[in-house]
């Protein structure tokens, strides 16, 4: 995380010392680097320059309005999975005509909302969804643009909770069923098949599974052409991971190298079989754009020695950062101001009343009560997955822009959490 480094003995986000952020905004607080965000987006946008391509940020990774606004101003589209996420795109000034709508459970109301804003495409994941969307579009007197999310049964070799392209996963249409499903879509009067979509999983460090999935999509596009179903875009999804700092962890493939190999295959395919054919390429990156742009800043409340384990109890918890509890994810933990004393092995845990409430296990730390810690690489699936368990307000969020710090989400207080509740008379 080159945008987070030590200067004069203090961990900084770009030019801002993190102890200054804690003093001004308290803890726990998510701290994001604007320059890191833009660098990561440009890692996709620049190799796509001059091509018919669109980078649709998968906003489930982090949906703060300020982040969406920054990306929209760079020309990003958005991959959404709910009507609420579409409303966030609109509130941030994003273009709905650059929105693709994924997800297995789209409601009638969500379909109406998306159609009313003329989104780019619906990524449809089942035949019942096709029929529902056709009926909704017919009632509205419009035609819905659709692509099918095809499940290629490619193993991404990642955590089972974030693998999405296998036969056992709930997502997508099975590859063997895709042709018949496209025939159904083409026959429905209020749908227009315009593309094909695939997303096989998250946190891929190697692009080989993505290129294998691409080959299967190309094969299917050729088959559909012979059926008279001509698609206009190919959506390869997201999935490129980030390095979380675990010992022995491989570095992820460079985004530019992956995109170069992807376009090399697409160009060769077009030259061989489809000379002159235009087809837009869409990407759905999330984690690789925002993951290493943020840290979770937290303060040590107590050091609690035990017979089998020592615990470093901090004010952040599983409700603030779910990844370690949910995925057993390894996340690096660094002191904001390192100490020179002896280090001890701690489990870094929060105050939530669950044994599963931990942020890191078996970490060597030289730390004292009141010290600040930073949980690194916390920009993706951090705040966006947070909750109010134990009636804990969700953390504040700030963005560092050079030497300036901007509060982009206020910390919740208890009154915010129960203001929608009522007592029985």
Express as a percent the part of the chain with pLDDT over 70: 96
Residue range 289-308: mean pLDDT, rounded: 96
pTM above 0.85, yes or no: yes
Active site residue 353: yes
pLDDT of residue 156: 54
Of 48, 121, 198, 353, the active-site residue reads 353
Contact 180, 229 (CB under 8 A): no
Q: What is the mean pLDDT of the chain?
A: 93
Neighbouring CB atoms inside 10 A of 26's CB total: 14
Instruction: Name the least confident of 139-153, 157-171, 298-312.
Output: 157-171
pLDDT of residue 155: 64
Token pair in block for residue 49:
């320059």
CA dist., res. 177 & res. 245, Å (int): 40
Matching residue, tokens 């643009």: 145
Q: Please tell me whether 285 is known to bind a ligand.
A: yes
Look at residues 192, 218, 212 and name the one whose alpha carbon lies nearest to residue 200: 212
Instruction: Name the least confident of 97-111, 167-181, 228-242.
Output: 167-181
Token pair in block for residue 278:
């235009």
Q: What is the pLDDT of residues 25-75, one digit of tens each?
A: 999 999 999 999 999 999 999 999 999 999 999 999 999 999 999 999 999
Number of residues written out for the chain:
425
CA dist., res. 108 & res. 293, Å (int): 36
Q: Which residues of 152-175 are buried (b: 16+ CB within 10 A; e: fewer)?
A: bbbebebeeebbbbbeeeebbbeb
CA dist., res. 383 & res. 398, Å (int): 12
Residue 311, classified by CB atoms within 10 Å of its CB into exposed (0-12), middle (13-18) or buried (19+), is middle
pLDDT of residue 1: 52
pLDDT of residue 170: 61
User: Domains, the chain, ranges and CATH?
Assistant: 4-31+291-418 (2.40.37.10), 103-283 (3.20.20.10)
Q: Name the maximum alpha-carbon separation found in the chain.
A: 74
Q: Please tell me whether 287 is known to bind a ligand.
A: yes
Q: Please tell me whether 284 is known to bind a ligand.
A: yes
CA dist., res. 31 & res. 372, Å (int): 13
CA 245, distance to chain mean position in Å, is 19
Contact 193, 182 (CB under 8 A): yes
Matching residue, tokens 């940020």: 57
Q: What is the pLDDT of residues 400-425, one digit of tens each?
A: 999 999 999 999 999 999 999 999 99
Q: Which residues of 42-77 are buried (b: 16+ CB within 10 A; e: fewer)?
A: ebbbebeeeeebbbbbbbbbbbbbbbbebbbeeebb
CA dist., res. 28 & res. 15, Å (int): 20
Matching residue, tokens 């307000």: 393
Q: Please tell me whether 356 is known to bind a ligand.
A: no
Token pair in block for residue 287:
């984690």
pLDDT of residue 159: 40
pLDDT band at 340 (very low <50, low <70, confident <90, very high): very high
Angle formed by the axes of helices 175-187 and 208-226, nearest 10°? 40
Q: Please tell me whether 182 is known to bind a ligand.
A: no
pLDDT of residue 239: 85
């Amino acid at each position: 995380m080159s945008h987070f480094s030590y200067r004069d003995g203090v961990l900084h986000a770009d030019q801002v010392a993190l102890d200054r952020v804690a003093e001004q905004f308290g803890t726990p607080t998510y701290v994001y680097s604007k320059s890191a965000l833009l660098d990561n987006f440009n890692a996709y946008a620049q190799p796509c320059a001059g091509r018919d391509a669109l980078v649709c940020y998968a906003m489930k990774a982090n949906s703060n309005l300020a982040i969406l606004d920054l990306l929209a101003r760079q020309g990003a589209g958005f991959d959404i999975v709910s009507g609420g996420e579409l409303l966030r795109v609109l509130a941030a000034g994003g273009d709905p005509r650059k929105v693709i709508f994924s997800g297995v459970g789209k409601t009638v109301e969500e379909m109406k909302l998306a159609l009313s804003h003329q989104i780019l495409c619906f990524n449809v994941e089942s035949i019942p969804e096709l029929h529902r969307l056709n009926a909704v579009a017919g009632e509205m007197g419009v035609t819905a643009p659709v692509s099918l999310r095809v499940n290629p049964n490619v193993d991404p070799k990642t955590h089972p909770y974030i693998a999405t392209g296998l036969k056992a996963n709930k997502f997508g249409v099975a590859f063997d069923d895709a042709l018949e499903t496209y025939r159904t879509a083409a026959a429905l009067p209020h749908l227009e098949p315009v593309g094909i979509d695939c997303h096989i999983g998250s946190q891929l460090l190697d692009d080989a599974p993505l290129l294998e999935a691409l080959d299967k999509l190309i094969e299917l596009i050729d088959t559909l052409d012979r059926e008279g179903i001509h698609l206009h875009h190919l959506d390869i999804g997201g999935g490129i991971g980030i390095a979380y700092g675990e010992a022995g962890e491989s570095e992820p493939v460079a985004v530019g190298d992956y995109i170069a190999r992807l376009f090399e295959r697409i160009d060769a395919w077009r030259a061989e079989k489809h000379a002159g054919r235009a087809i837009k390429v869409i990407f759905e990156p999330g984690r690789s754009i925002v993951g290493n742009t943020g840290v979770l800043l937290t303060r040590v409340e107590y050091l609690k020695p035990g017979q089998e384990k020592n615990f470093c109890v901090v004010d952040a918890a599983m409700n603030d950062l779910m990844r370690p509890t949910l995925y057993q994810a390894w996340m690096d933990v660094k002191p904001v101001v390192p100490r020179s004393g002896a280090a001890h092995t701690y489990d870094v845990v929060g105050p939530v009343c669950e044994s599963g409430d931990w942020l890191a296990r078996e970490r060597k730390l030289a730390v004292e009560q009141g010290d600040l810690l930073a949980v690194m690489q916390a920009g993706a699936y951090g705040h966006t997955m947070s909750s109010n368990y134990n009636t804990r307000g969700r953390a504040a969020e700030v963005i560092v822009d050079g030497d300036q710090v901007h509060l982009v989400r206020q910390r919740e207080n208890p009154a915010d959490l129960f203001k929608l509740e009522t007592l029985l008379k």
